[in-house]
Amino acid sequence: MKSPLRKIEEDIERIGQSLRKASCAYYLSYKVYEETLARSRSLNLENKLSGLGRELERCPREEYDEKEAILIGLEDLSLSIKGKLSKLKIERVRLRRRSDKLIEDYAYFTSQVLCRKVHTSLPREIRDLIYEFIIGDKVRMIMGLSGSNLDRVRSWNDGWWVYDEFPAHVTLGFMGDAMLREFMETWYRTTTFGCFSTSELRLFLKRNRWDLGLDASKLVTEVGLSLTREDMQAVVERNLRDNIWCADDGFPLYFEPYAPLYFELCNDSDSEWTEDELSGDGSTESKWTEDASIEDDSTKEDSSDDEAEEYRFQGGLEDLFRFKPGTHMRIYILTDLASLGGSHGVSDSDRRHKLNRFFENEIRMLFPFLKRLHDAGYRVVLSIHSSEVTIDDSGVDLSLKAWAEQYWVKTTNMYAERMELEGRRASRR
């Protein structure tokens, strides 16, 4: 009885012979087509038919019959050549499709044999090196939702391996279940996955790619989550309205907005806020208390939507804990520097004030969660407008105040460098 491998080898030989015959037939048909097309062009039948037609309109009667016979003969020849060309085109397409199918079948069987030999003869460490060589170095992939299609992706790198829609040969039939599983495990491990929302993150973790039952949360080593200021705005506004924040232990913390922590952040020589304004006795506190106590009909109607949005947002953040500890996580806050005061004509004190409010209103909501990630063993980096601030930098206290100060120093240096560069450009003009 023939072994499965021997049967595959015989199928490969048979398909190879058929492929050679089909390729030869395709080549011959293509040559005949080219020769027929060249003959048609050399005869210049279209111009001759047009010229004879004009001559017949003004020639004498005795010459009419003779030229009409020539015209009919040329028309018959033209139709005959066009018919041959049409048949040759059809035959060429048929042979081409057959050749492509035979090539695919040939590749199907040869790939199985190759993958089986690689999987049985090489150790896993060497196989992983092969997979990594095919995939490339630290591919960065951005996932995006297009309707219900999660596989619509964009990437900064070129190459088929950066896409979810892998080509036909990265399938179970071509690689076999064992090798395909190893290949996809390496793909998960060496790819930096980025999601533009917590909804995309949840779908990414939920989807069973290639029906292999692989758990992405146990394989991925680098993940990025992009959050726009608009994403957090519903949560921020509701917290400001209800005076609700979360403490480091995750429980709600009730306090008056712009209370001592904000004063601690702002308490420097550039601050224009006074302690009275921030202590709860000034007009600022009264304004926020008044705003929080006012609920019109539209606010009541939108409250359920706000709560649902807050639940989705915070629940999506919790999905990051599904990844294994040690995973490198980058949280991107997508905002422009101008919105934080980084523009012409803005004083340092105003810029510092806007940054402090940004940290107090928005980053403060996110910080306890990032600290929980850090304490759980994740490598966490916050990136705001391309300025990365690692929360576990050596020598930096793991506190919102120290983190805000670190970010202030980095953005100040970046802003100064930009101003210096623009000054140099202006001096050259």
| pLDDT for residue 124 is more than 80 | yes
Both tokens assigned to 180: 């395909």
3-state helix, strand, coil in the chain (%, to 5): 65, 10, 25
Tell me, yes or no, whether 327 and 360 share the same domain. yes
For 138, the 3-state DSSP assignment is coil
Percent of residues, the chain, with pLDDT higher than 90: 5
Q: What is the pTM of this model?
A: 0.57
Q: Which of 220, 254, 288 is the last residue of a domain?
A: 220
Predicted pLDDT of residue 276: 42
Burial (CB count <10 Å: 0-12, 13-18, 19+), residue 290: exposed
For 27, the 3-state DSSP assignment is helix
Predicted pLDDT of residue 178: 87
Q: Which of 121, 141, 159 is the last residue of a domain?
A: 121
Q: Domain range holding 302?
A: 227-428
Between CA 147 and CA 254, with CA 231 as vertex, the angle to 5 degrees is: 140
Tell me, yes or no, whether 112 and 139 share the same domain. no
CB-CB contact of 36 with 92 (8 Å): no
For 243, the 3-state DSSP assignment is coil
CB-CB contact of 300 with 345 (8 Å): no
d(CA 67, CA 15): 56
Tell me, yes or no, whether 135 and 185 share the same domain. yes
Tell me, yes or no, whether 257 and 388 share the same domain. yes
| pLDDT for residue 87 is more than 60 | yes
pLDDT digits (tens, 9 = 90+) for 22-54: 667 666 766 776 776 676 666 665 666 566 566
Tell me, yes or no, whether 112 and 147 share the same domain. no
- Non-local (6+) Cβ contacts of 140 within 8 A are 155, 156, 157, 162, 191, 192, 194
Tell me, yes or no, whether 279 and 371 share the same domain. yes
E-strand stretches of 60-190: 139-143, 153-155
Both tokens assigned to 13: 């030989």
Predicted pLDDT of residue 406: 74
Q: Which of 86, 121, 156 is the last residue of a domain?
A: 121
From the list 225, 418, 424, 186, the residue with the least C-alpha distance to 320 is: 225
Predicted pLDDT of residue 291: 36
Predicted pLDDT of residue 228: 72
Predicted pLDDT of residue 251: 41
Tell me, yes or no, whether 254 and 351 share the same domain. yes
Predicted pLDDT of residue 351: 72
Tell me, yes or no, whether 187 and 254 share the same domain. no
Chain mean pLDDT for the chain: 66
Of residues 337 and 92, more confidently modeled: 92
Site of tokens 């095919």: 134
Predicted pLDDT of residue 62: 57
Tell me, yes or no, whether 412 and 268 share the same domain. yes
Tell me, yes or no, whether 258 and 348 share the same domain. yes
Indicate the residue type of 31. Answer: K
pLDDT digits (tens, 9 = 90+) for 271-302: 333 434 333 333 333 333 333 333 444 444 45
pLDDT digits (tens, 9 = 90+) for 385-427: 655 555 555 555 667 777 777 777 777 777 777 778 888 888 8
pLDDT digits (tens, 9 = 90+) for 334-347: 765 545 555 555 67
Number of folded domains in the chain? Answer: 3
Tell me, yes or no, whether 382 and 278 share the same domain. yes
d(CA 268, CA 340): 18
Tell me, yes or no, whether 374 and 285 share the same domain. yes
